[in-house]
Amino acid sequence: MVTDRVLRPNHTFYLIISFASSAMLATAVPWSLEPPSFAAAEQLALTSTPIPTPTPGPPPTFTGVYRNTTEGFSLVLPQGWEGQETGDRAPTLVIQNPSQTLDAEIWIFPLLDPQPAEEWLREAVAGYGEVTITRESSVQLGLDTGGYQAVFGWAAEAGLQVREHWTAIVRGTQLFLIRVVTPAAEYDQLAGAINAFASSFTLEAPAPFGASQDDSLFLGGGEILTLDPPLYRGSPAGVPGAIFSGLVRLDRELRVVPDIAGDWEVTGGGTVYTFHLRPDVLFHDGKQLTAHDFKYAWERAADPAIESPTARTYLGDILGVKEKLDGEATEITGLQVLDDLTLRVTIDAPKPYFLQKLAYPTAYVVDRNNVESGDDWTDAPNGTGPFKLKVWEKDELLVLERNEQYYGGVPELAHVVYRLFAGRPMIMYEQGEIDLVPVFTSNIERAQDPANPLSNGLEVATQFCTSYLAFNVTMPPFDDPKVRQAFALALDIDKLLAVSLKGMPDRASSIVPPDMPGHNPSLSPVPFDPSQARALLEQSRYGGAENLPVIVSFTHDDAFHWMWQEYLGVEVEAVSLPEPQDYLDRRDAKELPLEATGWCADYPDPQNFLEVLFHSESDENHFGYSNPEVDSLLEEAAVEPDHEARMALYQEIERRILDDWVAVPLWHNRSYVLVRPYVKGYELSAIGIPILQDLSIER
């Protein structure tokens, strides 16, 4: 499930790489001048994304001193100059003088790699084509702020001569450009004011919307698809897990513990749960929470109109949920509000893992008035969790602030700041811009090197995650188990792990990961056997590789494609879906012939892998797999009261699934995270659980 990757891997993770396009570096000056070319600068520009203004209407103008606490800089406008924020980062500000013979702008670009200001500026100016540089040098600007400056000219249409005055300043992964454009005839008269303006630029410690580095956690991040709990498909450790909360949660030992529910009783032979809610739980706006709010939240999650991808999986054991999801009922019969603080839940059979499911975001409570306020309600969600959403500038910045009324105790962190798409996370970490960063193959050797200071902050933990190759058994040629087995035997996974993945994961032989209940240590990994693989294709109903259709692969691993082409002689067409939601939609519709994917547990029970992924009626079964015997055994294991007998059933189920070659275990993941020493309370868990409320900053 796709979400931010700050504290742990995604709940479901995909082998996808997407690239954001660059925005053209351009400007519209009052007297209609356009530069001849910005080709080089275009490659360095940041995609321009509007920032919502706090009030309707155009942003206010300013004069005199301007300070931007979000980006961390200030400057002084000469007398009579007037500026305005654009709502973008490229440019952030546009400024004019009284006679409108000057156009000044402040641009902010991300640097993929640290780069000297001089080098960047020269490359960007070179993109103009034919220019005449009259001056360039290093300059000292405001307090502790240095940069590189160039003045150059070029000829516009109709022979008009243009003069530009550029100053570039680099801080970590950010480059600030002060760009001033004038007609050449006006430049000498304005030069004093231009130099004073550029020289006033001063870098300051960023404090976005009041978030100080002294008591706030700064993180990197990518696209946040949604904050709506029943539509969210990520780890509870993500942003929704900080804003919202539920009846129960998993603690660091992965035990079910009370959350909004102070306690509960189980009756009816294990099918009736009576939850007693804490009386001190308030929504962020101060409104008292009641059991009616949970009834509303869960019935909304089961409303077919909102198309929750997780409601059937995590709430489907409750009587009436499946009927409501199928449009056959208007309410959930298994939910009863006994009074404002008592909720009774009846499930279809005694299931030992049921409470664990309620720790997943689908079961979080939401405020009806908030949800029904409009389609954009998640821009200002009224949750019950330890943090409130303070600011969400889509694809740029998300700021959480602590909930002073949180029933679990006021968090130590004043804010949590997610800098979205702000640059390469590892570089941002090394430059001191963020406090935590996951480590991937490109940086693991440096992070593990004892001689590298990075190694002092490295945390490593086993995850309850399995990467696997999945085949859609309803689509040719993978409707033949011999073809599926052949594709599995043609993969040299050990070599891939050693070379491409640098030994970070562990080789997998099972779907249920090690150390998790129900793991079967007696299983062996699928061997690499190209000869047997080709023989299996000959034995299949297709009669050999030459009779197979082109294999359309959404698995973005060139090594897989090369091995299948080299060892099987098949033709592979790699298809890219750069938008995560497009991929999820195709996957949900069972339109992917094969994929290298994975699953991370939401609760420590083999049912979360085997039934959720492989039961024929599961919404997470994206492979068209249906085995009546497996379904029957899964249903038997779900209600088996004896723990040992239940685990034995799951091991038998797993063997049957593996024998059908619908999924081929590849590797089990480990988390590698770099953590600043002043971040206290951070511990990796085998399952993603909300921990932001347990962290503090002690510099």
Q: pLDDT at position 58, please?
A: 65
Q: pLDDT at position 157, please?
A: 76
Region 509-523 average pLDDT:
97
Inter-helix orientation angle 607-614/643-659, to 10° = 40
- Give φ, ψ of 154 to 5 degrees: -155, 165
pLDDT in tens, 394-450: 888 999 999 999 999 999 999 999 999 888 899 999 999 999 999 999 999 999 999
Q: Is the pLDDT of residue 678 over 90?
A: yes
pLDDT band (50, 70, 90) for residue 554: confident
The pTM (predicted TM-score) of the whole model is: 0.85
Q: How far apart are CA 480 and CA 595, in angstroms?
A: 16
Q: pLDDT at position 586, please?
A: 87
pLDDT in tens, 278-337: 999 999 999 999 999 999 999 999 999 999 999 999 999 999 999 999 999 999 999 999
Q: pLDDT at position 588, please?
A: 87
Q: Is the pLDDT of residue 22 over 90?
A: no
Residue labelled with tokens 């001849």: 36
Report in angstroms the alpha-carbon separations of 69 from 40, 179, 202, 375: 29, 20, 12, 30
Q: How many helices (H) and strands (E) does the chain have?
A: 19, 30
Inter-helix orientation angle 643-659/628-639, to 10° = 160
Confirm or reject CATH 1.10.10.60 for domain 461-671, answering yes or no.
Answer: no
Region 545-566 average pLDDT:
89
What one-letter code names the amino acid at 621? N
Supply the mean pLDDT for the chain.
89
Q: pLDDT at position 35, please?
A: 38
Q: pLDDT at position 483, please?
A: 97
pLDDT band (50, 70, 90) for residue 30: very low
| Domain residue ranges of the chain, discontinuous segments joined by + | 39-206, 218-428+676-697, 461-671
pLDDT in tens, 157-186: 777 899 999 999 999 999 999 999 999 999
Does residue 643 or residue 36 have the better pLDDT?
Answer: 643
Residue labelled with tokens 């306690």: 263
Q: By three-state DSSP, how is residue 659 classified?
A: helix
Least confident residue range of 205-219, 541-555, 652-666:
541-555
Please state whether the peptide bond connecting residue 229 to the residue before it is cis, i.e. omega within 30 degrees of 0.
no
Q: Is the pLDDT of residue 532 over 70?
A: yes
pLDDT band (50, 70, 90) for residue 501: very high
Q: pLDDT at position 130, please?
A: 86
pLDDT in tens, 46-83: 222 233 333 445 677 889 999 999 999 999 999 999 99
Q: How far apart are CA 377 and CA 374, in angstroms?
A: 5
Please state whether the peptide bond connecting residue 91 to the residue before it is cis, i.e. omega within 30 degrees of 0.
yes
| Length of the chain counted residue by residue | 699
- Give φ, ψ of 310 to 5 degrees: -120, -10
Please give the CATH number for the structural domain made up of 218-428+676-697. Answer: 3.40.190.10
Q: How far apart are CA 615 and CA 629, in angstroms?
A: 10
Q: How far apart are CA 629 and CA 622, in angstroms?
A: 19
Q: How far apart are CA 386 and CA 355, in angstroms?
A: 21
Please give the CATH number for the structural domain made up of 39-206. Answer: 3.40.1000.10
pLDDT band (50, 70, 90) for residue 27: very low
> Which residues neighbour 219 within 8 Å (Cβ) at sequence distance 6 or greater?
6, 416, 417, 418, 419, 434, 435, 436
Q: Is the pLDDT of residue 8 over 80?
A: no
Q: pLDDT at position 36, please?
A: 32
Q: pLDDT at position 485, please?
A: 98
pLDDT in tens, 590-606: 989 998 899 999 999 99
Q: Is the pLDDT of residue 153 over 50?
A: yes
Q: pLDDT at position 184, please?
A: 94
Tell me how many degrees the CA angle 341-342-346 measures, rounded to the nearest 5. 150
Q: pLDDT at position 160, please?
A: 85
Instruction: Using DSSP bridges, classify how beta strands 256-258 and 458-471 pair: parallel, antiparallel or unpaired.
Output: unpaired
pLDDT in tens, 374-394: 999 999 999 999 999 999 998
Report in angstroms the alpha-carbon separations of 112 from 33, 167, 604, 640: 30, 20, 39, 54
39-206 and 218-428+676-697 agree in CATH topology: no
DSSP for residue 454: G
Q: Is the pLDDT of residue 353 over 50?
A: yes
Tell me how many degrees the CA angle 563-565-570 measures, rounded to the nearest 5. 135
Contact 418, 397 (CB under 8 A): yes
Inter-helix orientation angle 481-489/558-568, to 10° = 110
pLDDT band (50, 70, 90) for residue 129: confident
- The segment with the largest mean pLDDT, out of 51-65, 117-131, 655-669, is 655-669
